[in-house]
Amino acid sequence: MAVYNFAAGPAMLPKEVMLLAQQEFSDYKGCGSGIMELSHRGKLFAPVRDRAESNVRELMNISDDYEVLFIQGGASLQFCMLAMNLLNGGSADYALTGVWSDKAAKEAKNFGTAHIVASSKETKYDHIPCFCEWDLDPKAAYLHITSNNTVAGSEYFDFPTPPEGVPLIVDMSSDIMSRVIDVNKFGMIYAGAQKNLGPAGVALVVIRKDLLSRTKDCVPTMLKYSTYAENKSMFNTPPTFAIYILALVTDWLKAKGGIAAIEKVNIAKAAKLYNYLDQTDFYFTPVAKENRSRMNVVFRTPNADMDAKFVAEATAAGLTELKGHRLVGGCRASIYNAMPEEGVDALIAFMKEFERVNG
Amino acid sequence: MAVYNFAAGPAMLPKEVMLLAQQEFSDYKGCGSGIMELSHRGKLFAPVRDRAESNVRELMNISDDYEVLFIQGGASLQFCMLAMNLLNGGSADYALTGVWSDKAAKEAKNFGTAHIVASSKETKYDHIPCFCEWDLDPKAAYLHITSNNTVAGSEYFDFPTPPEGVPLIVDMSSDIMSRVIDVNKFGMIYAGAQKNLGPAGVALVVIRKDLLSRTKDCVPTMLKYSTYAENKSMFNTPPTFAIYILALVTDWLKAKGGIAAIEKVNIAKAAKLYNYLDQTDFYFTPVAKENRSRMNVVFRTPNADMDAKFVAEATAAGLTELKGHRLVGGCRASIYNAMPEEGVDALIAFMKEFERVNG
């Protein structure tokens, strides 16, 4: 039975990547050791790290004005690291569009003021507030947004324009490399790898070089962006295996035609699923139509018992990890880059049959 | 050709672990996905995480007075995290016995005073200073030591007794689980996994529960030990694959008879190598005899050119990663738990032949 894994993260990786990594797992390039057993400063790992960076730069069209860093701790560590490095007792603007953006704002409060410019919290994050209503501070240290809300199932398809001189910082954990963006619009982009880039255990940080000098000396070495920038992210031992998988995933994405090509597939996959959701009364999605995420499709059956039945029967049919986030319940199909269109087709076919029997 | 990998970390893992992980890499327990593609909150990963913890507790005989935590960022992040949580503007005692203990002390300075109780820095960390000379502060927030000095090649075979009420904190990155210790003597033990426990990307922290309350509220969530203690190290997505490998490595160690059994092997391996070094004038080890590390055997040939020749020819003969740390040069054979006695035998045989030809 073909299994399609709809986990929100850690999530499915491209089949080709999994098979190649498996093949060379215990004997990398004939050296007799696995890549995870090798020194990060040795001749075999160095080109892997360099390729991970050059792939990211090529795919996202990143200029030399930016550093590309690999940091442990996930996006959650970035919530405080960002504020430690760039806030410095000032005030930063935060838009609350989901639980993760809320957490990011809370962590900033230890290092200055988190000014909430917009929020959809009162309506359970069912939409992205219109930029026309945002209360932007022209003196903000930065403006922070979460481009895709993994739990709520919403996504920004445009980006706000911050006041002049205010860098736009974005947590792209769950839609990084799923669509073409202009990196030059951002002061910093960060993303945990475990959705679109690789396994859990490494976060990608793309930061404009001029921002590095904002960090005070008293910030601990391991929490300064400059430490990673000055040491090719190898001040200490990096998570070598996670970076290796990220290199393979980005190799795969390049071979697929890059981000523009995968974006087309992602648009088609999401459209199929939302089109089906819109033409049935059995399933329901709470997200505003114009903000529906292409990565995390959140939906419900008529009631919570039926949701549980749906998830259990889908799992038995090889459509796994469809349970919604524990904070919101319901169902969620995460359809990142690695999910083939056939997986979405199989899900829709199952949903139709489940509706026929239970509707 | 059999390859023996003497890397200091990331380092070789038990062959059985590598082969099992390879076998189930892309289809874990028949679920159709790899373990790294699964949700950290799902039914398949939860028992892996729990087994990692219970294995650590069983092997090290850890009581319920201690928390067992898995944290990203390596031991280097612990240098600052420790001080952020437990120093609080006070003064802590540090013994300098290698470059890593020096780094740990430097990171403490951002959060209070790092009082140096003893140091062998002036003699290039060639010994562990006698405890009789240590200038201990009875009011110190803690006393910090590095039990094995990976770069210098020295190791504590006794531990200092701090003044009453002062917790002893130890960085055991490179000798954790290589020998039996009494955990109850310590306030906290930490170790990057990539030497004796698994791959790079996760650190083990064993901390006495009463110390958790010392942390001030203003410490960021991801940098508080209590966050990990209260959430089974899953406040955010943990490095699932690294924890999985750690579970396999500790399974392996249990099957080998546990730490007492592997300690005997480690003593025998190190004795063989040092005995050979002591009976030749061609090779030289700078470390004081009573402090020689069982994990990292540091040695030199008559000159740097010969060191390079030695490393190159050894590599060609399947004895890899013998180059000394970039800060000190020379040669280094790291012989952690996973290095079989045959690897040490092969190294000694090669060293003899190299000496015969070049001596």
Residues B60-81 have pLDDT tens digits of 999 999 999 999 999 999 999 9
A203: its two tokens: 């976060």
A134 is annotated as an active-site residue: no
Q: Percentage of chain B surpassing pLDDT 70?
A: 100
Please list the alpha-helical segments (H only) found in chain B: 15-23, 45-60, 74-86, 99-108, 225-230, 240-255, 258-278, 304-316, 341-358
* pLDDT 10s digits, B296-308: 999 999 999 999 9
d(CA A72, CA A86): 19
pLDDT score at A303: 95
Q: Which residues of A touch B201 (CB under 8 A)?
A: 72, 201-202, 239-242
Q: How far apart are CA B227 and CA B238, in angstroms?
A: 13
Q: Could you say which of A103, A134, A182, A195 is catalytic? A: A195
Annotated catalytic, B100?
yes
Q: Which of B1, B23, B37, B49 to probe the A interface (max A CBs under 10 A)?
A: B37
Contacts with A8 (C-beta within 8 Å, 6 or more apart), sequence order: A150, A174, A195, A296, A321, A325, A332, A334, B39
**Is there a contact between B194 and A5 if contact means CB atoms under 8 Å apart?**
no
Cβ of A42 within 8 Å of Cβ of B218? The answer is: no
Does the ipTM surpass 0.95?
yes
Q: Using 50, 70 and 90 to split pLDDT, how confident is the model at B2? A: confident
What's the pLDDT tens digit per position in A295-340?
A: 999 999 999 999 999 999 999 999 999 999 988 899 999 999 999 9
What's the average model confidence in pLDDT over A251-280? 98
User: With 90 as the cut, is the pLDDT of residue A88 above it?
Assistant: no
Which phi and psi (to 5°) does residue B16 adopt?
A: -60, -40
Per-residue model confidence as pLDDT tens digits over B121-145: 999 999 999 999 999 999 999 999 9
d(CA B241, nearest CA chain A) in Å: 8
- Specify the pLDDT at position A176: 98
Q: Which residues of chain B lie closer than 8 angstroms to A9, CB-CB?
A: 39, 237
Q: Is 90 exceeded by the pLDDT of residue B53?
A: yes
Choose among B12, B19, B33: nearest Cβ to A12. Answer: B33
**DSSP at A325:** P
What is residue A2's predicted lDDT score, i.e. its pLDDT? Answer: 85
pLDDT reported for residue A1: 76
Antiparallel, parallel or unpaired: β B154-155 and B148-149: antiparallel
Tell me whether the omega of the peptide bond preceding residue B10 falls within 30 degrees of 0, making it cis.
yes
Question: Is residue A100 among the annotated active site residues?
Answer: yes
pLDDT digits (tens, 9 = 90+) for A17-58: 999 999 999 999 999 999 999 999 999 999 999 999 999 999
Q: Is the pLDDT of residue B88 over 90?
A: no
Specify whether the CB–CB gap between A202 and A72 falls below 8 A.
yes
- pLDDT computed for residue B359 by the predictor: 87
Interface test with A, best of B24, B236, B323, B331 (most A CBs within 10 A): B236
Closest CB to B10 among A7, A38, A192: A38
Q: Tell me the three state secondary structure of residue B24.
A: coil
A254, two tokens: 């390049």
Nearest to B237 among A200, A219, A236 (CB): A200
> What is the overall mean pLDDT for chain B?
97
- Residues B285-344 pLDDT 10s: 999 999 999 999 999 999 999 999 999 999 999 999 999 998 889 999 999 999 999 999
Average pLDDT over residues B200-225: 97
Neighboring chain A residues of B73 at a CB cutoff of 8 Å: 72-73, 77, 222
Candidates B38, B74, B199; nearest CB to A36? B199
Task: Please name the amino acid found at residue B309.
Answer: K
Percent of chain A with pLDDT over 90: 97
Q: Using DSSP, state whether A332 is helix, strand or coil.
A: strand
Is the Cβ–Cβ distance between A49 and A234 less than 8 Å?
A: yes
Contact at CB, B241 and A241, closer than 8 angstroms: yes
What pTM value is reported for the model? 0.98
Residue A359 pLDDT grade (very low, low, confident, very high; cuts 50, 70, 90):
confident
- Percent of residues, chain A, with pLDDT higher than 70: 100
Q: Which of A50, A65, A134, A171 is catalytic?
A: A171
* Omega cis (within 30) before B138: no
Residue type, A239: P
Q: Which chain A residues are closer than 8 Å to B36 by Cβ?
A: 10, 13, 199-200, 245
